[in-house]
Amino acid sequence: MLYMIFNIILSMSIIGTSVSILVFIMRFATMKLFSAAWNYYMVLLVMIFFLVPIGLFTENITTDLGKDYFLQSNFQLEISEDDSDFRRNIQIDERNQDTYAVEQQRKNDRSQSFSINRLQLFVPYVPYIWLLGVLSFIGHKTMGFLIFKRKLMKTSFSIDTGPIYEVLQEWRARMRTKQPIMLYSNDGINTPILTGLLKPYIIIPEVDMDDREVNNILRHELIHYKRKDLYLKVIVLFANALHWFNPLVYKIAQYMDELCELSCDEKAVKDMSTEERRSYGETILNLLDRVTNRKTGIYTSLCDTKKSVERRLLLIMKNKKYSRKVIALSIGMAIMFFATGTVIADRVTSSLEVVEAQSYNQQDTDDVIVDEFFAKLAGEQERFIEKEDIEMLTLPVTSGRVINPYGERVHPMTEEKRMHTGIDIAVEEGEGSDIVAAQNGKVIATQEELGGPASYGNYIILAHDDGTASLYAHCSRLIVEVGDSVVQGEKIAEVGSTGYVTGPHCHFEFRVNGKTVDPIPYIMEPIGVEDISVDEFFARLAENQQTFIEKEDIEMLMLPVTPGRIATPYGERIHPTTGEKRMHTGVDLAAEEGSDIVAAQNGKVIATQEEISGSYGRYIILAHDDGTASLYAHCSRLIVNAGDRVVQGEKIAEVGSTGFATGPHCHFEFRVNGKTVDPLLYIMEPTLI
């Protein structure tokens, strides 16, 4: 989500900057031809482009660049064996390329790819840097204004009677302002201030002022109030916060402050005589000598810098009348500015979509390099690999947990739904943790040798002795080189965060006959299953079994807890902690804490959960010799480890109350073809219900 928001903000910043440049170029003419109010509202129009993603609401007015922009690859990959080492040969148009040129091009491509990869390491953090800047800007401005306001109010005195108060009420009646406006005086300021969005108030300097000055000051500030200039200042500050990285936005905010005062003066002196205009100008000049530095905030003030005052005095004395032609031209110019901005918005948005499409498609094209590599490798294998021929794997990060499973998912950076072709394994120790070979094999490619995906970062590819292959991505450092032979469990790299990642982890892919498969069913080590449910685990286990299990082929079970009683049978029930009616997928065997839990049948420990998380708490999963499987949950302690062989009746754990439990018991599930069945139908020992 943040990545998408930042992209929108970036496009708005480009669009707003383009329109701003146009307005700044034209201002030398528009300030002479049109009113200050017109110029003021044109700057507000610019702010719309900084705050509203107009490009998202426009159909492609200009040439439709389209979202589906595909890059055509003009090369192919070949895998050949030379002196027992695998090498990569890129076949480029042979009509105008010789061997030397091909090799030089390969070196240049690798060097460029490596440089791009290093730069792209910082890309995922840019949206977070932007957000930090936004929060810092808002915090800084808010704190500065609140401190200034608190100090100001502590030294201000309310004015609710007297001549000045009566002048305020008179101007309120003339301007038909219904909301009460408080009036204060303060000897710490040298220029009048209007502030307060919900409860507006005017603070005037505590100095001697004649009736004309008081009249001009209060009239000026009430015009600001009537035009809602305070709210417009909030909008400008918000735009400034969102685009804190864009220096032009600060310039626009400054220019808008100046136009705000100019347009307010213009309205104030609209119906004045020359003498009254001169008096109004003298009021500003008298206040200029008392101007001090002020904090940026949500308020308006009558006086600003000397240069600004000079412009204001010229405008005050100008008394220019605008003809119908000039008014019509000003309307046409306003429409032209908005139309131009809309076209720019459409072009920029479309261009960014193409760039984004190119980025995604470049990643897709890069992925083809690895896919073709594996496809060529599979094409050279002597036979088709069957499931039963695949050797069991070791989890590449032995102390890690699976944070992203194999299958379709929403990409954490691009927020697109796409196929996740491996599993992501994270480890508490983070960067630098060991990555080991999942199986015996040989290093056949690395990122430096093969090039390819910037998304993978630093990666390594192994060809295994059983004909399968594996890939380990986002490494911080590679320990082995192309051509090295490795054994299962041998360190080959270290966990890192290279490529497109949100944090340090190892992306692990397993390939069979050149295609990616879910590696989890083939891993014999314990897996901390964070995003993979127990049901998914059993379903994947069932997918990999060789034959469908018939009832008559199932071996009889032993009750896992003896002595024990069945507190809750298999079937629908009211859940004791949630109060919901739901399916109870096993039987609950009540016993004292620490009582023995034994294997219900001969088999092998294929998964354990040591961490107390989720409803099952600590649990063990066994794969039995007849093809069935069983689960033992809520254990207080596990006795065996993943990969251990057990026999029926052997102690594997102890009764506990971990997870969602109302007391010590063992939740026992029995699975046939991946589905739960009532285990009491297969238990040969007497049970107490």
What are 315's two structure tokens? 């405008």
Looking at residue 550, its amino acid is: E
Query: Looking at the predicted structure, is the pLDDT value of residue 559 above 80?
Result: yes
Note the residue count of the chain.
689
Residues 491 and 523 in one domain: yes
Name the band, by pLDDT with cuts 50, 70 and 90, for residue 90. Answer: very low
Highest mean pLDDT: which of 292-306, 337-351, 624-638?
A: 624-638
Single out the residue in 504, 532, 560 at which a domain terminates: 532
Name the band, by pLDDT with cuts 50, 70 and 90, for residue 122. Answer: low
If one counts every other C-beta atom within 10 angstroms of the C-beta of residue 188, the result is: 13
Residues 5 and 146 in one domain: yes
In a domain, 598, yes or no: yes
Compute the average pLDDT of residues 362-379.
65
pLDDT at 358: 46
Residues 320 and 287 in one domain: yes
pLDDT at 637: 92
Residues 284 and 415 in one domain: no
Name the band, by pLDDT with cuts 50, 70 and 90, for residue 493. Answer: very high
pLDDT at 87: 36
pLDDT at 655: 95
Residues 444 and 524 in one domain: yes
CA 228 to mean position of chain CA atoms: 36
pTM score of the predicted model:
0.48
Query: Looking at the predicted structure, is the pLDDT value of residue 242 above 90?
Result: yes
Single out the residue in 380, 405, 426 at which a domain terminates: 380
Query: Looking at the predicted structure, is the pLDDT value of residue 602 above 90?
Result: yes
Q: How many domains does the chain have?
A: 3
Query: Looking at the predicted structure, is the pLDDT value of residue 361 above 50?
Result: no
In a domain, 406, yes or no: yes
DSSP 440: S
Each residue of 512-527: pLDDT tens digit?
A: 888 888 888 887 644 4
Quote the domain boundaries for residue 564: 551-682
In a domain, 249, yes or no: yes
In a domain, 192, yes or no: no
Q: CB burial class (10 A; 0-12, 13-18, 19+) of residue 509? A: buried
Query: Looking at the predicted structure, is the pLDDT value of residue 238 above 50?
Result: yes
The candidate with the shortest Cα–Cα distance to 17, out of 248, 346, 341, 343, is 248
In a domain, 333, yes or no: yes
250 versus 535: which is more confidently predicted?
250
418 versus 329: which is more confidently predicted?
329
Residues 314 and 285 in one domain: yes
Residues 280 and 328 in one domain: yes
Highest mean pLDDT: which of 19-33, 173-187, 347-361?
A: 173-187
Residues 290 and 376 in one domain: yes
Each residue of 58-82: pLDDT tens digit?
A: 544 444 433 333 333 333 333 333 4
Residues 371 and 252 in one domain: yes
pLDDT at 350: 62
Name the band, by pLDDT with cuts 50, 70 and 90, for residue 241. Answer: very high
In a domain, 185, yes or no: no
pLDDT at 356: 52
- Residue with the two structure tokens 């062989």: 645
Each residue of 259-312: pLDDT tens digit?
A: 888 888 888 888 788 788 888 877 777 766 554 444 444 445 545 555 566 666
Highest mean pLDDT: which of 96-100, 187-191, 211-215, 439-443?
A: 439-443
Residues 277 and 419 in one domain: no
DSSP labels for 176-227?
Answer: T--S--EEEEETT-SS-EEE-SSS-EEEEESS---HHHHHHHHHHHHHHHHT
Residues 241 and 374 in one domain: yes
pLDDT at 295: 44
Q: Are strands 675-677 and 645-646 parallel, antiparallel or unpaired?
A: unpaired
In a domain, 476, yes or no: yes
pLDDT at 414: 56
Residues 341 and 417 in one domain: no
Single out the residue in 497, 532, 567 at which a domain terminates: 532
Please state, rounded to an integer, the average pLDDT across all residues of the chain.
78
Name the band, by pLDDT with cuts 50, 70 and 90, for residue 97. Answer: very low
Q: Could you give the 3-state DSSP secondary structure of residue 206?
A: coil
In a domain, 390, yes or no: no
Each residue of 7-45: pLDDT tens digit?
A: 788 888 888 888 888 888 888 888 888 888 888 888 888
Q: Could you give the 3-state DSSP secondary structure of residue 314?
A: helix
Each residue of 527-546: pLDDT tens digit?
A: 444 435 677 778 777 776 76
pLDDT at 353: 54
Residue 563's CATH number: 2.70.70.10
